Amino acid sequence: MKLLTAIIKPFKLDDVRDALAEIGVQGMTVTEVKGFGRQKGHAELYRGAEYIVDFLPKIKIELAIEDALVEPAIEAIIKAANTGKIGDGKIFILDLEQAVRIRTGETGSDAL
């Protein structure tokens, strides 16, 4: 099992969700986050004063998935979230040691 975390642009969430549903991903956790990478924020004007926006709004998607779905999930996210511009996001994959479904007590892949 793997824990896949993707950071994407907010307006791409529906596209990514639909793409993941098509490959059989059954659930995900979505969080509104702020951050920056190479993009380093941008300058904005507000009431005539310029200020720097260091942290940009992003969406963090977390998926607990079986090993067989990792590559299809990565490809689906890349295809759906890509705009070709800086700040499209990142995907991180971590080993998931254990999962437990609270309601039934199922463990491992059965809990997903």
Q: What is the pLDDT of residues 6-37, one digit of tens each?
A: 999 999 999 999 999 999 998 999 999 998 78
- Residue 66: pLDDT band (50, 70, 90) is very high
- Residue 56: pLDDT band (50, 70, 90) is confident
CA distances 97 to 6, 29, 69, Å, are 19, 18, 16
* Nearest 10 degrees: Cα torsion 55, 62, 8, 52: 0
Among the listed residues 9, 8, 87, the one whose alpha carbon sits nearest the alpha carbon of residue 42: 87
Residue 59 in this model has a pLDDT that exceeds 80:
yes
Instruction: Indicate the fold that domain 2-111 takes in CATH.
Output: Alpha-Beta Plaits (3.30.70)
Please report the pLDDT score of residue 74 as a whole number.
98
Whole-model pTM?
Answer: 0.85
User: Are 55 and 36 contacting, i.e. CB atoms less than 8 angstroms apart?
Assistant: yes
Question: For residue 105, what is the DSSP state?
Answer: -
